[in-house]
Amino acid sequence: MKKGLSLPLLVLLGWLLLEAPVDAYLDPGSGSMLLQILLGGFAAIGVVAKLYWHRVASLFRRKGLDGDSR
């Protein structure tokens, strides 16, 4: 095993073994809120992609072709 990898693995193993049980409750609105956050994030990514579409498309466009009139 690599030298630099053993310490993080030991810390992770210790953290998992010393985990204490908790009494937690998730109300029904928590799932709805999580879904709303995810959908809002996807919508934001879509809006940014639409705003910068020409820049994004130019990354994938071939340049210097003879038949390219752009």
Q: Where along the chain do its domains lie?
A: 28-61
**What's the predicted TM-score (pTM) here?**
0.47
| Helical axes 28-51 vs 53-60, angle rounded to 10° | 70
* CA distances from residue 65 to 58, 61, 69 in whole angstroms, order as listed: 14, 10, 9
Each residue's pLDDT, cut to its tens digit, for the chain (70 residues) gives 456 678 888 888 888 888 788 888 878 888 899 999 999 999 999 999 889 888 878 888 887 655 555 5
